[in-house]
Structure 1
Amino acid sequence: MPTELLADPAVLVTFILIGFAAQLIDGALGMAFGLISSTLLIATGVPPAAASAGVHTAETFTTAVSGISHVAHRNVDWKLFFRIVIPGVLGGVTGAYLLTQIHADVAKPFVLTYLTVLGAYLLYRGVMHKHTEKAPKVVAPLGLAGGFLDAAGGGGWGPIVTSNLLVQGSNPRKTIGTVNTAEFFLTVTISATFIATLGWAAFTTATLGLLIGGVAAAPFGAWIAKRVNADLLLTFVGSVLTITSAYGLYRALS
């Protein structure tokens, strides 16, 4: 990592603002903190494994506050929570270990293409008021895939799990709250795996900035998720997923 990234106080303020904005979106829509933060860290010259480690170190704290906030606002479906959290943790450990050993860039364009299409579909359903709520049937495989891709790509838990549960008809508010709350256990596990394999290199000025900004924004995201109606939440989720995935795909292919 460039030494100026660790020494310049302006960098800390920049990443505090990035962390605040990313977590505000993540807490309200169930995705984007990892994608936004990882993309910007890598753009500043941070290696992919270190970027993912740094983001997950920050997320250990931001997801704790976010999860508590969602529980307080009664945004959590506990039955769904237990169906996704264990597979998510298993997938996260596997993804974190593999990222420190190999590059996972080969699959990235395919995953991002899938998420872009999924985002456009969710956007359509939200705008056209076509969301019919029903209990999701495919859950554990989503947790496993989401945890793996989150660790391997620095962000993927929310986009994979939240979007696919919503496509199946899950309640937007409960889905966002549940996925955010489960993410705490995922990030703790992934961070521990990274620390065991990479050491304490993840604790940088950028990580600290993301942590401070993210913790400050976390309670507001849960409050927004509780008060915005389902169709509007779905529209926002679709928009954010389409934009972030399409941009990630452009970067992966360029």
Structure 2
Amino acid sequence: MSTYLITGASRGLGLALVYQLARLDVSEVKMVFATLRGQESASLREIAKASPGRIIPIRMDPSNPDSIQKAVETVKSRLDGQGLDFLINNVGVSPLVQGGISNMQGSSSASPSGRTKSGREYIRYNTIGRTQTKQAYSSTTLGSIARSKVYELNPCPAYKITKAALNMMTVQYAQGYAKDGFTFFVLTPGWLKTDLGGPAADLPVETGAEAVIKIVKSANQEQNGRFLNIHVPGWENNKSVYNQYDGKEVPW
């Protein structure tokens, strides 16, 4: 029986991951801690209600050390001395910057949603906040330097920069904790039809979540420090230059 912690679980991929795990038998999944910054979504509340004591929503702001520490203490108390088996670090933000990196503000600027964020704030949220939780999993091919030319026209330089930093951070953890038996890796869940991915994305969020869980469940030391792609049958040889979901390793 395994225990999981999933960040960013109130919607999108994080919520779909919680749902996929909740469907598995208790012999496979004992407990899932689902972290969220704000109020529980109705969907997460329903999943937790259907699996009382097994799906546990927890408030946590990944950019706030005090909030992280409180969440850690809550998880420790529920685990009752047992270690956490899997951490799927999914939370992140992706600002759109029309016109490229020259228009990415160093100071605060208003986003289309009305929220104010700066380039430094996105780096703090997507990268530094993840360091404090000690693991990172969910990345994107937009963070691949080798494939940067392919995604040149995507107007989200801060997102690309922070994901590339996240990738290197994961490698450092993989190297630093390899002797202790930990496995750290990043994977791309695909371009999914979420609030972030939009309706024109490649895959339903459920498809991406199912593929992610499959990789995580089968993870071993061979995956340590690697950048993995999900596998979706029929997408291995997609003619688009952007995304092929072939289950292979992604170039850094």
**TM-score normalised by length of structure 2:** 0.30
Higher strand share: 2
Question: Normalized per residue, which structure has more helix?
Answer: 1
The one of the two structures with greater contact order (alpha-carbon pairs below 8 A, sep at least 6) is 1
Give TM-score, length-normalised by structure 1. 0.30
